[in-house]
């Protein structure tokens, strides 16, 4: 479902010596079914922004609309919004507390006032969606690996049946396999459940591979937005604000500078391989010697 921000500003500790403006005139629309990547250097306002999307933080000024309803209107159901816009914090496993995985995932639906049978049905469905094997369901969440704990935390949000899933650095602290497993599972949820996903990440490779649109934050403002290819072609501007493009982008630009007929805006390994093989094939067809 769509979320629209109009001229949103947020100030921490106003009227004090610690006053800091974290968000500045944010205008942004997130459409139904999009997979959005949110990137920016530490302190750019990413985490503050996502906490506005389900009303955890109230804007100092500006308006936020969910399905064209102003979430700051007195009659708006903020509790209901938080069930529809699920937020998974960085290191969400720190929030696990129940004696078993299954009970932990039931906690959210139970708070919605659902029956025991409905809570358990939602928990089973959510645990299957995140790919956690049934043999782990009755274990303590603290017996699980880091990646498994992350799956449980995400399942706890999914059990609320959100229409929008927001994940703040969901792969932080995981090894490469754990990171890939989590991201593949999130991508599968987006495809199969038609869920709107907002992914906050420091990994340019991850967002290049998975998201449809990137929003770049800098000093509390939206610095740039577009498809990964559109954003990463401006890698020089990104470097000026403390970011970078995926390594593939630098390789492809260097190849283009060396005279190879490749698209320098390729952002994923798959795209790069296709471009390089195509370029080599064209040169081989002409019986030319390939120079490094």
Our separate counts of H helices and E strands in the chain read 11, 10
Residues 195 and 162: beta-carbon distance below 8 Å: yes
Do residues 8 and 106 share a domain? no
Do residues 3 and 67 share a domain? yes
- The answer to whether residue 114 is domain-embedded is yes
Expressed as residue numbers, the domain containing 11 is 1-76+163-227
The structure tokens listed for 129 are 């969606």
Measured CA to CA in angstroms, residue 13 lies from 8, 10, 48, 136, 182 at distances of: 17, 10, 14, 44, 36
- The answer to whether residue 194 is domain-embedded is yes
- The answer to whether residue 86 is domain-embedded is no
**pLDDT surpasses 70 at 163:** yes
Q: Residue 282: what pLDDT?
A: 59
Q: Residue 52: what pLDDT?
A: 97
Q: Residue 92: what pLDDT?
A: 76
Q: Residue 1: what pLDDT?
A: 59
- The answer to whether residue 235 is domain-embedded is no
Do residues 70 and 121 share a domain? no
Residue 195 CA to residue 174 CA, distance in Å, equals 24
Do residues 126 and 262 share a domain? no
Domain total in the chain: 3
The mean pLDDT value for 159-184 works out to: 90
**pLDDT surpasses 80 at 185:** yes
The mean pLDDT value for 96-101 works out to: 94
Residue 251 CA to residue 279 CA, distance in Å, equals 14
What are the backbone angles phi and psi of residue 73, rounded to the nearest 5°?
A: -65, 145
- The answer to whether residue 16 is domain-embedded is yes
CA atoms within 13 A on the CB side of 95: 18
pTM: 0.89
Do residues 260 and 128 share a domain? no
Do residues 146 and 212 share a domain? no
CA atoms within 13 A on the CB side of 134: 2
Do residues 72 and 171 share a domain? yes
Q: Residue 292: what pLDDT?
A: 40
């Amino acid at each position: 479902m769509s979320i629209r921000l109009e001229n949103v500003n947020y100030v921490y500790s106003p009227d004090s010596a610690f006053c800091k403006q974290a968000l500045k005139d944010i205008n942004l629309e997130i459409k139904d079914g999009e997979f959005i990547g949110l990137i920016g250097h530490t302190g750019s306002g990413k985490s503050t922004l996502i906490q506005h999307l389900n009303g955890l933080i109230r804007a100092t000024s500006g308006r936020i609309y969910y399905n064209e309803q102003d979430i700051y209107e007195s009659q708006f159901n903020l509790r209901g919004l938080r069930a529809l816009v699920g937020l998974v914090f960085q290191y969400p496993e720190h929030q696990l507390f129940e004696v078993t995985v299954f009970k932990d995932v039931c906690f959210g639906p139970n708070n919605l006032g659902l029956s025991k049978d409905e809570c358990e049905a939602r928990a089973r469905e959510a645990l299957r969606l995140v790919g956690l094997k049934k043999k782990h369901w009755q274990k303590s969440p603290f017996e699980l690996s880091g990646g498994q704990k992350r799956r449980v935390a995400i399942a706890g949000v999914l059990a609320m049946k959100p229409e929008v899933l927001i994940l703040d650095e969901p792969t932080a602290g995981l090894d490469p396999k754990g990171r890939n497993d989590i991201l593949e599972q999130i991508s599968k949820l987006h495809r199969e459940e038609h869920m709107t996903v907002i992914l906050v990440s420091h990994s340019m490779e991850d967002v290049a591979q998975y998201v449809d649109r990137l929003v770049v934050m800098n000093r509390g403002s939206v610095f740039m937005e577009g498809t990964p290819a559109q954003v990463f072609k401006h890698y020089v501007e990104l470097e000026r604000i403390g970011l970078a493009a995926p390594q593939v982008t630098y390789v492809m630009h260097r190849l283009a500078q060396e005279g190879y007929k490749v698209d320098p805006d390729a952002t994923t390994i798959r795209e790069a391989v296709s471009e390089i093989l195509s370029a080599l094939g064209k040169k081989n067809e002409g019986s030319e010697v390939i120079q490094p």
